[in-house]
Amino acid sequence: MRAPRAAGAIRTSRAALAAGSALLGAAVLAGCGTGGGSGDSAGDGAAASGPKPSRATATATLPAQERTPEGTLLVADFGSDTVTFVDPERGPVESVQVGKAPYGLAVGEDGRAWVATADAVAVVDTRTRERVDRIPYETESGPATSGEYRGGGMGIALSPDGGHAYVGVNVPDGKGTLEVIDTGTREVTDTVPVGRRPFDVDVSKDGREVYATNHDSFDVTVVRADTLKPRRIEVAPYGTEGGLGSWLKPHYAAVRPSDGKLLLPFEGEKLVVLDPRTGESDIEPMTADTHQHGARITRDGTLFAVGTGPIDPSQDEGPSLTVRTEDGEEKVFPLDGPHEDVAVSEDGDTAYVTGGFTRDGYWNGITVVDVESGDTRRLAAGERPLGIAVL
């Protein structure tokens, strides 16, 4: 990949928004999206305008005996209770029922995918494309529903040795938990209290720590894998004024391979570089000027950050994908319509950005971005795809 251009000057359009977000909280509880209003359910969100890929029912055909090829995409279909296997050139291959409103997913070296749904973690054999188990949560999070604020599993990650899965469980109107699953016995072995609405879960390279990024409490919970002792670190580069109604909260994080620090993008303006050992953080400028969600990092330290669109269309830029090298140089690729999460090809040359989005305006597909040329194309991919992985 060629070196991206140097980052431009930081903008400060959102500083004033933080002061007024308390008023916004009365109308918008979560503060994520391209416009006002409460969170929609999976079935009633308005699809974005523009080209709309067909649903996964129109699938490419593979022989039944053929194992899933390497490089196939796997997406969590928040709107249809499935995961969909997607050929990166031809589109959807097959969908598998996993449970209500699947959100995040993680894939192990053994080919098993662990999918966080509203009421359980589903285990899918990606080689044979079938669900092989379902592990209910220990945490009581209410009825299994859909929609942006639904209870149940959100972020999920695997330990480096594959022995444990860690899933953040959202408890509506309360603090969440981190549930620990023994992947051998496929049972929940422990629960750990974390912050509100754990959007994302990550694990340190050595497996000694687990990080829950908690959207509604402006923090990251650091959990030691051996003792399961939690430690809270506030992450609020714009402050916490506005509380639940603030837009300016953490969403997704990525663990930098070179030093184990957490990278949390905010609004295409600020990158929080958090040292989970000390709790200290630095803030570096970003250039996209857009509300950011999904984050992914490659082995060479290149960060991919998804911009969902503007908070204030009169001041902010539209949806985009930022590709940022470890030395801070950025390329920003405009996207058509809102997006949520991103996965990257093994060679780092192609990004796959899901159009599901946790709020309204979603669309049923993936944008494929050529990182060298900047060319983009749209690919059909299930219904409201959120979490994504390259198999």
- Tell me what pLDDT residue 19 has: 43
Count of C-beta atoms within a 10 Å radius of residue 260: 15
The type of residue at 107 is V
Question: How much is the pTM?
Answer: 0.87
Write out the two tokens for 182: 């023994």
Cα distances (Å, whole numbers) of residue 155 to 115, 137, 213, 214, 351? 9, 14, 8, 10, 20
- Tell me what pLDDT residue 70 has: 94
Low-confidence ranges of the chain (pLDDT < 70): 1-66
- Tell me what pLDDT residue 66 has: 65
Backbone angles phi and psi of 60, in degrees to 5: -70, 155
Instruction: Write out the H or E segment, with its range, that includes residue 18.
Output: helix 15-25
- The residue among 360, 342, 359 whose CA lies nearest residue 351 is 342
- Tell me what pLDDT residue 62 has: 47
Query: Got the DSSP string for 116-137?
Result: E-SSEEEEEETTTTEEEEEEE-
- Tell me what pLDDT residue 32 has: 65
Query: Got the DSSP string for 77-121?
Result: ETTTTEEEEEETTTEEEEEEE-SSS---EEE-TTSEEEEE-SSEE
- Tell me what pLDDT residue 180 has: 98
Write out the two tokens for 166: 């860690």
Rounded-to-integer distance, Cα 324 and Cα 345, Å = 16
* Helices and strands, number each (H, E), in the chain: 1, 28
